[in-house]
Chains A and B, each alone.
Chain A
Amino acid sequence: MRRVGVFVCWCGSNIAGTVDIEQVKAAAAKMPNVAYVEDNKYTCSEPGQAAIQKAIKEQKLDRVVVAACSPRMHENTFRRTVGGAGLNPYLLEIANIREHCSWVHPDKVAGTRKAVDLVRRAVYKVAKNVPLQRASIDVTKRALIIGGGIAGIQAALDIADAGQPVVVVEKTPSIGGHMAQLDKTFPTLDCSACILTPKMVDAAQNQNITLMTWSEVEKVDGYIGNFTVTIRKKARHVDTTKCTGCGICWSKCPAKVSSEFDLGIGKRKAIYVPFPQAIPNKPVIDEKNCIFFKTGKCKACQMFCPTGSISFDQKDELVEEKFGAIIVATGYEQWDPSPYGEYGYGRYKDVITGLEFERLVNASGPTEGKIKRPSDGKLPKDVVIIQCVGSRDEAKGIPYCSKTCCMYSAKHAILLEEKIHAHSYVFYMDVRTPGKGYEEFYKRATEEHHATYIRGRVSRVYQKGDKLVCLGEDTLLGKKVEVEADLVILASAMVHQNGASKLAQTLGISYDQNEFYTEAHAKLRPVETNTAGIFLAGACQGPKDIPETVAQAGAAASKVISLLSKPKLETEPLVAQVNEAICSGCLWCKPICPYKAIDGKVVKERIAGGKTIERPVAAVNASLCQGCGACTVACRTGAMNVLGFTNEHILAEVDALCL
């Protein structure tokens, strides 16, 4: 005979408003094994927890049922409470009579009946619970950061500062990310490169940081504390140990192609560094455009290289590395505004995106910072900036607000006026400036730099001579507006990085309908993923500006530092276990396991007649197992069980609810 204590929580009026607590108590008192019943206004409060501990001792309880909110809220709280009173923490069950009952049922009679059923289920189950012990695993003291933009750089610097080694994997030839493409940054207008490049240099020089540019994460195995990651080091065709970055190779290379870094506005060579401050300042050969790779002739770069660094037969290399934690900082892409046929992006050369404008106005850009419009190189006098291109448009673009466009559009208006006295007309739906100094910055654009803000959408852009006529509406005046512009800038939305979903699948993390990675809790766990040991930083989780990205990168880094500073990690004991006596060794469970936690092994046993035989059985790696239970469903003999959720447990619950 067990001695089960049932503790029914009111949760103020959250539960007591819909569930008759007295009736639940009376019913619970009559359930098998129940030795004690008590109610409390707030069971999770200190007095509530103390009452449980007192009852365990005084009533000699050996099992506890708490009828309260979801186990996602307070299961850990009550496990600690029970553990504090000397019971094994796993001799506890929660009956969720709030989220599963009082919150969703308006009827008190039916609600009470259901609450009683839920309590009975927990009472039947807890009787079958056995003490479980947590195990501990080692931690590899090394972090991986995927993505070398400002988020990845900041997180790497913070982790390295705490004395932990970090590897940054970046798919392009240089770290720096989108921030390296920008000219000025809002709301202070300091030059993006001036504040970014010191951090890039720090990252390159830090002993604890290893930069792996021109590399991509191919495969991720393992679990928190012990990830094994396969990284593809793409063939650079340049020996970075010998190369001095002198630049002779790219000055001699005859193949000119459009530059990704300059978004097609500028050109680069087939052997190139993407921008002057690139780190590492070592070029890569772009095989698709290199004349030697296309025709088998040329090798100009190799001929002129003074250090003999160039090798055409370098191949992609796969390296396997161990890490204790991973930060995903893969950033965003700018949305391609082509679906807006009415704006003529792609048809008219002088209709450009915000990011393209950054390259036009940037001193390291293709025009050396002179805002020459793409069609004829003239300096524009009147510029139309269209906000929310793609953002907040479910028909053509994406449903969410990209958050940064209001501010960068104001910045563009300021820069245009400051540099070439051009007048900006900004078409907007709303101006959103919720950041420190942001509203003031927007005011500065309108008051000091005389930008004209027009509330309304542009319906059509068309070429008339060398002007672009923008037809739109001023919804505040209720009038049609027509602006003849020399340049049109589309404040195009921020969307997920190319291949974001594929990387999520490689990592085993979740993503939302817009392919942004999902945090474990929107408010309370904003930098963690649902996969233990993997964290998020920057715009890969959703549109963000630089200050917010840097803050989140720091937060993710501190999570990693605290994880790596632990000598050992405790694991949950609620994992799958094989009853080897009845396992047939069919291993149907093995391909079903999403965590690759099951493998076969051979056991020896003596059978009747004194003979010893060998037979295969399934074996679970408890560190990899997440306790999902998929294997228990597949098991034909019932040999596989998840501890805490065994077949016996489930049947006891079914009996409680159905008999």
Chain B
Amino acid sequence: MKYAYYPGCSLHSTATEYDATTRTVCQTLGVELEEIPDWNCCGATSAHATNHLLSLALPARDLAKAEQMGLDVVAPCAACYNRMAQTIHETKDNEVLRGRVSAVIGADYEGTAKAKSLLEVLAADVGPKVVEAKVQKPLKGLRVAAYYGCLLVRPPAVTGWDDAENPQSMDKLMTALGAETVDWSHKTECCGASLTVSRTDIVLKLTRDILDAAKAAGADALVCACPMCQANLDGRQGAVEKTYKTNYHLPVFYFTQLMSLAFGIEPYKLGFARHSIDPRELLHTKEIA
């Protein structure tokens, strides 16, 4: 199993621990990653709010490079994945649009490479059974709320690999690691994403709702598959607590961090120190690390 790896801007900056653990987990599971040379930003929300053609051209340039490599793309970031899947979806049966996109990027874009999220690759292609076989330190007693966010499994016409309203793939992966997952209401609610900079108030409200729901469901921590979600839920948690006079203290993991941990990788290699809500205390109490 080999993929063209598209880390995206976050994994090279704010979410280096997601990048590192992604590589670790893939190596353990025999998923080969080859980083796309000279990749560019996917455009995220800014591009599609500015110019439709631009929002397709940016991911198309990366996809065209993957086509030259003869590989499908895996993107750990939900936003990057969604932009790529959206580009493939929109240009699939539209030769004219593909032609315009090719002209913009100055390369032939055929639309032959697929885009997958890292979660899809690990949960669907590799599967919980294979994952379970690699577990050395089961995450016993850890109750997590699997948080998918809004872009990972939606819209179903574009993504279509998990239930769009009540997804299960991450829950099954977590169960395979020996952790317990909670049934909760805010799995696919939006965290506010990049509004964190321009409209912090909105992000504080949205993240509060998510944290509230996870706490109410009895979770010890959240698990996510998106650097933006992690940044908001973890990084803004202190501000939410202050603004709304609440107290959560809910660590927010990348699912690859927990996988690495269960695969027996030493905790100090997993970048926990970079988190705002330090998860090591929780892991220590649960006698996991």
Contact = CB atoms under 8 A, between A and B. Distances in A.
A310 to B, nearest CB: 45
B166 A462 contact: no
Interface string B178-207: 000000011001000000000000000000
A341 B164 contact: yes
Interface in A339-360: 340-342, 347
B165 interface: yes
A469 B185 CA distance: 10
A265 B65 CA distance: 57
| B: interface residue count bin | 10 to 19
Interface in A434-461: 460
A347 B166 contact: yes
A341 B213 contact: no
Contacts of A395: 157
A604 interface: no
A288 interface: no
Interface in A469-494: 469
A164 B216 CA distance: 67
B207 to A, nearest CB: 16
Interface in A308-361: 340-342, 347
Given A463-B185, A464-B185, A342 B213 contact: no
A342 B165 contact: yes
B186 A462 contact: yes
A460 B209 CA distance: 14
Contact of A341 (B163, B186, B189): B163
The interface centre, meaning the residue of A341, A342, A395, A465 with most chain B CB atoms within 10 A of its CB, is A341
Nearest to A396: B156
Contacts of A347: 166
Contacts, number: 18
A542 B230 CA distance: 50
A464 B216 contact: yes
B165 A462 contact: no
B149 to A, nearest CB: 14
A340 B156 CA distance: 12
A460 B216 CA distance: 18
Contacts of B216: 464-465
B23 to A, nearest CB: 34
B165 A341 contact: yes
Given A462-B213, A464-B213, A341 B166 contact: yes
Contacts of B189: 460
Interface in A360-381: none
A588 to B, nearest CB: 45
Contacts of A340: 165
A467 to B, nearest CB: 11
A135 B84 CA distance: 71
Contacts of A464: 185, 213, 216
A462 B212 CA distance: 13
A635 B109 CA distance: 57
B206 to A, nearest CB: 12
Interface in A226-273: none
A463 B184 CA distance: 8
Q: Which 4 A-B pairs have the closest CB atoms?
A: A341-B165, A462-B185, A342-B165, A341-B166
Given A395-B157, A469-B185, 8 more contacts: A340-B165, A341-B164, A341-B165, A347-B166, A460-B189, A463-B185, A464-B213, A465-B216
18 contacts: A340-B165, A341-B163, A341-B164, A341-B165, A341-B166, A342-B165, A347-B166, A395-B157, A460-B189, A462-B185, A462-B186, A462-B213, A463-B185, A464-B185, A464-B213, A464-B216, A465-B216, A469-B185
